[in-house]
Amino acid sequence: MSVERQTVDFYEEDSKLYDSSRFQDRKGLQIDVVQQSIVGDLCGDVKSKKVLELAVGTGRFTKTMLGKGADLVGVDTSISMLRITRKKISKSVSAKISLIRADATKLPFKENVFDYVLSINALNHIPNYSDAITASSRVLKSNGFFVFNFPSTASIFLPIALLVNAREKSVIRPVFSKCYNPKQVFNTLFKNRFNLETVEGHIPVGFAQPAIDKLFRKSFFRLFSGVLFIKAKKS
């Protein structure tokens, strides 16, 4: 069975407990607040903008984007995840959204369609992450923005990153995961007509989150965070 198929099967099953196992206790709630803040900061005003969200999951950021007035298309390889997202936003009858089962590396859209592509907590689960970046560039308009994150090898959590990469699995869950070298990610961006706009750091530890966020999010120390959040602009 391919890694991609294993990942889809994992999230089909994991969808049932995805939110409750990650973002509903005190630790998870704090992490969610910080991640939502970072994404809101990087995306800015998306009202009436065409936004493509890769790997919508259970719709955490989908709801945020819709709340900001985005015209959103969400894709995921997991039907169960898409169903959960649809249920979450079903009460927003005026929301402009389409949900489609699709692979982030093989996007079924024309070129130069979207103003933003958003991909949060996803690229580390894609073996050929560079293909997702290439696909994102193809569907973005010129001067459009790609907002995404990835776990970094250049972090204070290097031993954990090395363990993840050696196993090619998350430390706590049996699903494909990789940490990436920031220079390699940035080079892939440049090759796909992207210029770096903003880099913010995040350490998803769940305790003392406000203080840690203040220290690592925008200071020089952000470069050594466990997770980097990137805003890149297509030329």
Q: Is 52 helix (H, G, I), strand (E, B) or coil?
A: strand
pLDDT computed for residue 88 by the predictor = 87
74/132 Cα distance (integer angstroms): 14
What angle (nearest 5°) sits at the alpha carbon of residue 29, between those of residues 24 and 33? 145
Residue 198 near residue 228 (C-beta atoms within 8 A) = no
Token pair recorded at residue 223 = 């470069």
HSE toward the beta carbon, residue 24, CA cutoff 13 A: 5
Q: 3-150+181-234 falls under which CATH superfamily?
A: Vaccinia Virus protein VP39 (3.40.50.150)
What is the model's pTM? Answer: 0.95
210/187 Cα distance (integer angstroms): 32
Torsion on CA atoms 204, 34, 32, 223, rounded to nearest 10: -30
**Amino acid in position 130:** S
54/39 Cα distance (integer angstroms): 14
56/64 Cα distance (integer angstroms): 12
Q: In the chain, which stretches have pLDDT less than 70?
A: 91-95, 207-208
Token pair recorded at residue 196 = 């770096």
pLDDT computed for residue 91 by the predictor = 64
Residue 235 near residue 67 (C-beta atoms within 8 A) = no
Domain ranges of the chain: 3-150+181-234
